[in-house]
Amino acid sequence: MARAARRAAPASTTSLPAFRPVQLATLVDAVPSGNRWLHEMKYDGYRLEIAIGGGRARAFTRSGLDWSEKFDGIVEAAASLKVESALLDGEAVVFDAEGRSDFQTLQGALKGDPARIDYVAFDLLELNGEDLTGLPLLERKALLRDLMPQKPKRLRYSDHIRGSGEKLLNSFCAAGLEGVVSKLADGRYVGARSSGWVKTKCIQRQEFAVVGWTPSDKARAFRSLILAVNEDGALRYAGKVGTGFDAKELQRLMSVMGPLEQKTPTVKAPRAEVRGAHWLRPKLVAEIAFTEMTNEGTLRHPSYLGLRDDKKPEAVVVEKAGSARQAQAPVIVPITNAERIIYPESEITKGQLAEYYAAVAPIMLPWAASRPISLVRCPQGRAKKCFFQKHDAGSFGEAVRHVAIEEKDGEAEPYLYIDTDEGLMTCVQMGTIEFHGWGARIEDVEKADRLVFDLDPDVGLDFEAVRFAAFRFRDILKTIGLETFPMVTGGKGVHVIAPLTPRAEWSEVKDFARRLAVAVAQTEPTKFTAALPKAQRKGRIFVDYLRNQRGATAVMPYSARAREGAPVAAPITWKEMETIVSPARFHVGDQTELLKRAGLKTLSSWGRADQALPDL
């Protein structure tokens, strides 16, 4: 009855839902057992979110790029669904006569026969303006099944079985399928990597960066591709692949690789294995199947499956299968010195801080995961020595990952990122209080996915001045077509955030933010300044636009602050902005309230809008 009522009373909105960070599955060594788990086929295609609204639809990759043109047939079919608005999660695939999906065939269809491409939907994140991510998976799938067409044409529903996952995997492997994805039946949708979704593969396959090629002594264009993965913040040699290409793909690859050639070796590799190599700047990612990885970290019997345009080399790491038994248990990171006082004025301990982060992980990770982060670590408490950390040589362990990012001097450095609650809690165990993140995700660190205007009041200004400034920026940005969202920082000011579809380069984003900030300061010089010297900020709001440049960070939603009273950064609505009394309204200990707030309709779409950087 509840499901019928939900369908019978759609919201009035007909706008397209905005992209959400997708939930990712963790690789495990066996299918988890028990009726807590649903098991689905693992599809071999491109992960896509489909946004539907007002008779229109759009397709987004897992990193938020708009690929509607590439999948126009799927988009057209989705737009015809009898629904006011919806956000689907699924996979674009091509099936053969035996019902197997194949990535290479999909790539061929994209180039010449797009009518063969279907979309298999396996989750429903929004329906008629209602956020469904807090519902159990079984309820979301029931709504999805009702939404999908009875006679599938281009759009299919991903069915599942409950329990008997190992038997299903064996049958899939015997049929030449890729594997099984297992999901907790009562799990909510978390826009990050989660142990609530796990995958078990029939064959080993994953992405590798293409860093060079070796010449052939025969008529073919090249002999093999040289592969690499990111490890400890740098690319390392992972072997070569010389099979899986037809003549057409060999020629295509040569044309793609030509502009990327460089004289210096991209990775260190045994000389005998890369004799005569043509080295490439690491810009290409290939999907590779293989039997195993040697102790030296190179591939046995690799086979090329195709290039992946939806992933960037910075995000390519070795996938290691974890224990299926651990996937069925809650993540527990031991917190040492839990009784240590971290906030002396309020006697909040490290253990209490850890309890806060463990509670808010599901609502924090969609914002903080899979983007380069800087940590504010205070191992002895906030009143003692604290320091920023953005690089790591491995002291955090495997749960805290590294992404290699090129610095100004051309050298790559290992930046930290997390993508699981285990990674988050490991940082807390290592004395982290604050989490600050780039305005871009690791899938493409050169494309910003948000604008942040940090409104910082001069000493002596009350919060009314900050409130006025926030609404002023909201109105200005609205006039140029950007929807914004406020966040109290737990410090002195407010962040006005405009989410972006990641298209613009950092130089464009910084220039846009600078020109807007300067223009506002020139128009209202008694209220605003964009000047960096503190002496020029007297009695005014400093508009910090430098959050919008490559390498700059901003405090993440739900991060605690290393300030008196243990405040936290928290999303709020513009309606709440009218009456909230302080940017430090929420504190460690408010996790129950923050979790409840995140599920409210007024905040369920906070920070999400389908918009690009306008001309200014």
DSSP annotation of 322 reads: B
Query: What single letter denotes the amino acid at residue 145?
Result: R
DSSP codes of every residue in 285-317: EEEEEESEE-TTS-EES-EEEEE-TT--GGG-B
47 neighbors 64 (Cβ within 8 angstroms): no
Beta-strand relationship, 401-406 and 412-417: antiparallel
**Residue 300 to residue 312: CA distance in whole angstroms:** 24
Which residues lie across from 415 on neighbouring strands? 391, 403
| Tokens 């990641």, residue located | 502
Q: Which two tokens stand for residue 271?
A: 């000389």
- List CB contacts of 538: < 8 A, sequence separation 6 or more: 458
Dihedral sign computed on CA atoms, order 451, 21, 283, 410: positive
215 neighbors 223 (Cβ within 8 angstroms): yes
At 344, give phi and psi (nearest 5°). Answer: -65, -35
342 three-class SS: strand
DSSP codes of every residue in 471-533: HHHHHHHHHTT---EEEE-SSSSEEEEEE--S-SBHHHHHHHHHHHHHHHHHHSTTTEE--SS
Nearest to 588 by CA among 421, 351, 336, 425: 351
Active site amino acids = 42
Which residues lie across from 239 on neighbouring strands? 227
List b or e across 114-139, with b for residues whose CB sees 16 or more CB atoms inside 10 angstroms. bebbbbbbbbbbbbbbbbbbebebeb
| Tokens 């809008």, residue located | 609
DSSP codes of every residue in 377-403: E-TT-TTS--EEE-B-SSTT-TTSEEE
Q: Which two tokens stand for residue 518?
A: 């300067």
**Residue 183 to residue 31: CA distance in whole angstroms:** 10
- List CB contacts of 244: < 8 A, sequence separation 6 or more: 104, 289, 303, 304, 305
28 neighbors 165 (Cβ within 8 angstroms): no
DSSP codes of every residue in 48-105: EEEEEETTEEEEE-TTS-B-TTTTHHHHHHHHTSS-SEEEEEEEEE-B-TTS-B-HHH
